[in-house]
A and B are shown apart, each in its own frame.
Chain A
């Protein structure tokens, strides 16, 4: 038996320093779906604007009421100024329209006549509106555009709601590899000069495949793809180059990733994969936002003791005893939840001891207006030790409980 190891203590994540640093030009908020990425991005953006930055936040799929509160009612795929009275800087917000962004890429690299041919291609229509990976690709594309514009000195991006946080990094490449890929070239070969030789090279297996594909998917689809790919070829040097260029943006100095996770096993597992991936790619990670935690207002009474006290109070009776017993049960529950959340956070930290953490307590309701965002922004940026409960903001429970 080995002695129990002292758990690693996560460093504190200083988001105030991150957004105030003029060198920070891009912040990417990522994480698995349903952890509050959009709200975190918007709250961070508002806080940055209040700290004097000229900020644009690119949201992907905001909840309706949050979108309204940011003035995102018109879907014109362009940033809109958000009224933030008293802010030293400016906040702009936009919601990604992936089809529009794709159309713009096509228009920008083509003559109006050629663009029209592409727009009318049924495969392009499917690709630009529902293809897996298009949303991620276009989010990166838009990020590149916003960064290239001198209008803003900080771009904050929310990432598309996918099951895996890694999709944001992988999908654009997957898509471009697919569009530039051998398979699609071979498949569309009959429409291209010299294509036949290629088909002969790969042999009978392929022609069988080609036959099946056209039998199942229909010959028309293959023709559409073929026409689309040759139209693209004349347009620019292929999708892969373009995706690569945008991908490189994420490696530039001035880019920071903020990984968002809820204190749940699945979300933290995803966060863990993502953190590993960022470090392999040499992409700078600012830290982990542990969103919607439940830190108790006091830790002077453990769950077990609170439970026992609730019984004692209820038995003693008298005015207010039911209410006090209820409050003690609320606290017992809260301590149990907090202990579970802290355990999950500790597990993450033991795998990634170097990753700074900021825990953000759950709001009582959904965040759907500027006031809600401002409160969340405060929880994101406030000083590590200012909670007044003895629990630092990097944790859900203090390092050493003050009572057993």
Chain B
């Protein structure tokens, strides 16, 4: 799950995880940017580098969450390939891990994606441990570089364990197992960045999934009046008779303000609606999630999950 900053991709990723966990399935929700956004969303203490259950879904399914800690992933990696667990602790003390990820920024992404791939392919008793892994990924501006690990390590390693590992990660990311969903708002910049990201992902042969329009609003004015109102052709005199007839207090005092607010509302809605065409033109399946009037809580996440579930079923049927 990617999206421009501020589009709510963490929320949508969490909702998708809940929706995929319905009917007794096991889903892992992964955080990659160290912001503890998932913990905040599920109202739990900050997540350690450990898979923890954060929610139970319909039919006994569950969502576990994991906040990947780059340093811990690095040490895990050293242990796995170089059998260096003890040395790892010394390295951590020296700040060497920070240093290594600083001089080779690509290393960070290799570690994160490596961990994701491990979770996707992990098996127990011959069955995958997770039915789905949902990644709250870096924003649209960085997503292709993040997922395109082979490219990242090209400058780091031409052979050896890193190269082998990144090839394995790439194979998973390019396979039908993966779908990169993009979250956008009906605003110019996010829609533009979504279009750019789709082009980049496609060029890198990474599978693009759906476009999720988040925080979509419904017009509060009658559909027939919207265009006219957006043109500014609504004044206090249009509203006063109906307000007075219903004995609205201080009608004459507020009518002008109401008209001004209605015009602004209509304009904003028309501007948003115009972007729907642009989103459709991206050629990907689109689903809209409504703007929540209250702060996002678990109940709210389940509502969003239901919407996504409907969309996924339609997509699967198609």
Q: How far is the CB of A175 from chain B (nearest CB, A)?
A: 9
Give A402 to B187 CA distance when docked, in angstroms.
Answer: 34
Q: Is B45 an interface residue (CB 8 A)?
A: no
B258 contacts A297, CB within 8 Å?
A: yes
Q: Is B281 an interface residue (CB 8 A)?
A: no
A309 proximity list for chain B (CB < 8 A): 243, 246, 248-249
Given A225-B103, A301-B254, A366-B188, A330:B261 Cβ within 8 A: yes
Q: How far is the CB of A375 from chain B (nearest CB, A)?
A: 13
A364 proximity list for chain B (CB < 8 A): 264, 267-268, 271
Q: Which of A156-174 contact B (CB under 8 A)?
A: 161, 163
Q: List 13 A-B contacts (CB under 8 A).
A: A126-B155, A183-B94, A183-B95, A212-B84, A216-B100, A216-B157, A218-B158, A313-B248, A326-B221, A326-B262, A329-B220, A331-B258, A364-B268
Q: How far is the CB of A84 from chain B (nearest CB, A)?
A: 23
At the interface, is chain B mostly helix, strand, loop or mixed?
helix
Interface residues of B (CB under 8 A from A): 4-6, 33, 35, 78, 82, 84, 87, 90-91, 94-96, 99-100, 102-105, 107, 155-158, 160, 162, 187-189, 192, 220-222, 225, 229, 234, 238-239, 241-243, 245-250, 253-254, 256-262, 264-265, 267-268, 271, 293
Q: Is A65 an interface residue (CB 8 A)?
A: yes
Given A216-B162, A218-B157, A323:B222 Cβ within 8 A: yes
A212 proximity list for chain B (CB < 8 A): 78, 82, 84, 87, 91
Give A325 to B103 CA distance when docked, in angstroms.
Answer: 61
Give A333 to B269 CA distance when docked, in angstroms.
Answer: 14
B268 contacts A312, CB within 8 Å?
A: no
B187 proximity list for chain A (CB < 8 A): 366
**6 further A-B pairs in the complex, CB-CB below 8 A; given A216-B156, A315-B246:** A301-B250, A318-B242, A322-B225, A325-B242, A330-B262, A336-B293
Q: How far is the CB of A219 from chain B (nearest CB, A)?
A: 11
Give A368 to B187 CA distance when docked, in angstroms.
Answer: 12
Given A297-B257, A300-B254, A63:B247 Cβ within 8 A: no
Q: Is A245 an interface residue (CB 8 A)?
A: no
Give A33 to B138 CA distance when docked, in angstroms.
Answer: 14
Give A348 to B156 CA distance when docked, in angstroms.
Answer: 45
B107 contacts A216, CB within 8 Å?
A: yes
A65 proximity list for chain B (CB < 8 A): 188
B259 proximity list for chain A (CB < 8 A): 327
- Number of chain A residues whose Cβ lies closer than 8 Å to a Cβ of chain B: 62
B192 proximity list for chain A (CB < 8 A): 63-64
Q: Is A320 an interface residue (CB 8 A)?
A: yes
Q: Nearest 7 A-B pairs (CB), nearest first?
A: A298-B257, A324-B242, A297-B257, A326-B221, A34-B6, A364-B267, A316-B246
B242 contacts A320, CB within 8 Å?
A: yes
Q: How far is the CB of A39 from chain B (nearest CB, A)?
A: 11
A122 proximity list for chain B (CB < 8 A): 155
Q: How far is the CB of A257 from chain B (nearest CB, A)?
A: 22
B220 proximity list for chain A (CB < 8 A): 326, 329-330, 333
State the total of A-B contacts with C-beta under 8 angstroms: 183
Give A216 to B107 CA distance when docked, in angstroms.
Answer: 9
B254 proximity list for chain A (CB < 8 A): 298, 300-301, 331
A318 proximity list for chain B (CB < 8 A): 241-242, 245
A34 proximity list for chain B (CB < 8 A): 4-6
A301 proximity list for chain B (CB < 8 A): 248-250, 254
A33 contacts B258, CB within 8 Å?
A: no
Q: Is A239 an interface residue (CB 8 A)?
A: no
Contact stretch, chosen from A68-76, A193-201, A203-211, A276-284: A203-211
A33 proximity list for chain B (CB < 8 A): 5-6
Q: Which of A264-297 contact B (CB under 8 A)?
A: 296-297
Q: How far is the CB of A180 from chain B (nearest CB, A)?
A: 13
Given A65-B188, A212-B78, A312:B241 Cβ within 8 A: no
Q: Is A217 an interface residue (CB 8 A)?
A: yes
Q: How far is the CB of A20 from chain B (nearest CB, A)?
A: 30
Q: How far is the CB of B17 from chain A (nearest CB, A)?
A: 21
